[in-house]
């Protein structure tokens, strides 16, 4: 039940985040609301105000319905696999449903724009303010990335010294992400200027605050990944504290990232409050539904979103369509992971003794224990003290993969935890296996192995 509550808590947090973001889209920033660019006079037009208010009301009801459905689903009695399947389906629905009214009212607002003839007097062209783009950005010190890199390397060095190659591979994630964030920071500083109208001072300011937000996000992300590496390292000896630290880091980073995004949006709204009275930039024809960028004349694959600090891909390029299509397919296929887990739950653990080996199997996993290399066999009526998962599966009816206990740093496990006894097998090279299928003849199997 605790795992299910944590799972749904992580999903439910999506709803307020999406509500805040989409509700924020109704506030004009850089002359844009719901993905539609309007002149200054169009912002306070009665029909514009009414359309935005209707979208807000529908958005509130949809988000409330999603929250109620989540509470109902989390209280229903379900297995881990079924619960995960339902959760993943709910996640897909929750990420798509609020955008249906967004697209609807985007089209209505765009139709109103066309009806009223709200277009800039100059041709709508791709505008790049070269003066602002040429403004030099003082680079931050590489030490701001070097320090989290050094911190993230400590667990990796430990894994190499211990020759624990599984954990070494996991600890490699932190340094790789820090280096990736440094590269993304270098790339972000080269993005084009934030041109809204003919006011060059405004363009420079908007460009500067977006780049400042990018700098902070990449540095904070580097420290977050360094902290995650340390939390994983801590969890090897203190699993509860490791989990607590990781959850605390995740919440802190989420709060900082969301706060940074909305602070930038607020600044964009405030700085462009008087824009659009004469000349202004209108690139609506390049944004499908105000969300998807499509410009065959743009050679860039990755472009800035018009609002906030995010980026997107150019769907006019084949690679952009591949990326977007792969993302959509991945979202649709996510529930299949829950279906696979349901099959894992139903699959029994089996032990088979041959002339040369004891074979433990569950689903697709196969563990072959050579009898010639067995040093010691113990029959356990209770699980080893402090048995905890490091990498693998931990469900009601099966434990498998890499585990750890108070006595052993490494245990390869394939067992049904619901009913003992279990066999603890130590090999000549020090490798330890914990196996058991819940069968009544485990004692007989133990005698044969002895």
The DSSP secondary structure of 211-226, one letter per residue, reads HHHHHHHHHHHHHHHH
Looking at the predicted structure, is the pLDDT value of residue 133 above 70?
Answer: no
Task: Give the per-residue pLDDT at 340.
Answer: 87
Looking at the predicted structure, is the pLDDT value of residue 1 above 50?
Answer: yes
Task: Give the per-residue pLDDT at 131.
Answer: 46
What value does the mean pLDDT of the chain take?
88
Tokens in use for 41? 């006079």
Q: For residues 292-302, give the mean pLDDT.
A: 90
CA gap 153, 176 in Å, rounded: 10
The 10s digit of each residue's pLDDT in 347-372 is 889 999 998 999 999 988 899 999 99
The 10s digit of each residue's pLDDT in 417-445 is 988 899 999 999 999 999 998 777 788 88
How would you class 76 by CB atoms within 10 Å of its CB: exposed for 0-12, middle for 13-18, buried for 19 or more? exposed
Strand duo 411-415 + 357-362: pairing: unpaired
Closest CA to 379 of 429, 434, 418: 434
Q: Go through 94-103 and write b for each residue having 16 or more CB atoms within 10 A of its CB, e for each that does not.
A: beeebeebbe
The 10s digit of each residue's pLDDT in 84-117 is 899 999 999 999 999 999 999 999 999 999 999 9
CA gap 439, 361 in Å, rounded: 14
CA gap 26, 206 in Å, rounded: 20
Tokens in use for 38? 């309007």
Task: Give the per-residue pLDDT at 138.
Answer: 65
CA gap 177, 60 in Å, rounded: 36
The 10s digit of each residue's pLDDT in 139-165 is 678 889 999 999 999 999 998 998 888
The 10s digit of each residue's pLDDT in 205-215 is 888 899 889 99
Give the CA distances from residue 259 to residues 32, 33, 54, 209, 247, in Å, rounded to whole numbers and listed in that order: 21, 20, 26, 14, 18
Residues ≥6 apart with Cβ < 8 Å to 34: 25, 26, 51, 52, 55, 102, 105, 106, 109, 290
Looking at the predicted structure, is the pLDDT value of residue 77 above 90?
Answer: no
């Amino acid at each position: 039940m605790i795992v299910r509550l944590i799972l749904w808590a992580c999903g439910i947090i999506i709803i307020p985040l999406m509500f805040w973001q989409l509700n924020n889209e109704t506030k004009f920033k850089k002359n844009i609301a719901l993905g539609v660019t309007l002149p200054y006079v169009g912002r306070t037009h009665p029909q514009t105000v009414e359309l935005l208010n209707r979208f807000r009301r529908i958005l509130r009801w949809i988000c409330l319905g999603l929250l109620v459905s989540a509470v109902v689903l989390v209280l229903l009695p379900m297995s881990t696999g079924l619960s995960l399947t339902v959760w993943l389906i709910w996640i897909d629905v929750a990420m798509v449903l609020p955008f249906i009214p967004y697209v609807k009212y985007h089209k209505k607002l765009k139709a109103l724009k066309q009806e009223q003839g709200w277009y800039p007097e100059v041709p709508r062209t791709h505008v790049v303010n070269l003066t602002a783009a040429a403004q030099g950005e003082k680079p931050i010190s590489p030490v701001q990335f070097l320090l989290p890199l050094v911190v993230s390397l400590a667990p990796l060095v430990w894994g190499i010294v211990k020759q624990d190659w599984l954990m070494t591979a996991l600890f490699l994630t932190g340094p790789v992400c820090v280096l990736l964030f440094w590269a993304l920071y270098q790339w972000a500083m080269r993005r084009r200027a934030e041109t809204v109208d003919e006011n060059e001072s405004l363009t420079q300011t908007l460009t500067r605050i977006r780049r400042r937000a990018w700098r902070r996000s990449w540095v904070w992300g580097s420290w977050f990944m360094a902290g995650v590496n340390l939390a994983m390292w801590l969890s090897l000896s203190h699993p509860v504290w490791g989990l607590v630290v990781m959850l605390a880091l995740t919440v802190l980073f989420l709060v900082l990232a969301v706060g940074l995004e909305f602070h930038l949006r607020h600044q964009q709204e405030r700085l462009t409050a008087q824009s659009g009275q004469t000349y202004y930039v209108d690139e609506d024809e390049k944004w499908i539904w105000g969300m998807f960028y499509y410009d065959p004349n743009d050679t860039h694959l990755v472009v800035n979103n018009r609002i906030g600090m995010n980026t997107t891909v150019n769907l006019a390029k084949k690679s952009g369509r591949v990326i977007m299509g792969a993302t959509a397919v991945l979202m649709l296929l996510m529930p299949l992971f829950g279906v696979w887990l349901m099959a894992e739950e139903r699959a029994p653990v089996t032990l088979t003794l041959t002339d040369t080996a004891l074979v433990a199997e569950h689903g697709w996993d196969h563990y072959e224990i050579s009898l010639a290399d067995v040093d010691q066999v113990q029959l356990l009526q209770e699980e080893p003290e402090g048995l905890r998962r490091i990498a693998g599966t931990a469900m009601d009816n099966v434990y498998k993969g890499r585990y750890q206990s108070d006595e052993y740093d490494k245990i390869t496990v394939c067992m049904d935890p619901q009913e003992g006894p279990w066999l603890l097998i130590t090999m000549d090279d020090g490798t330890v296996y914990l196996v058991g299928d819940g069968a009544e003849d485990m004692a007989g199997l133990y005698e044969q192995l002895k």
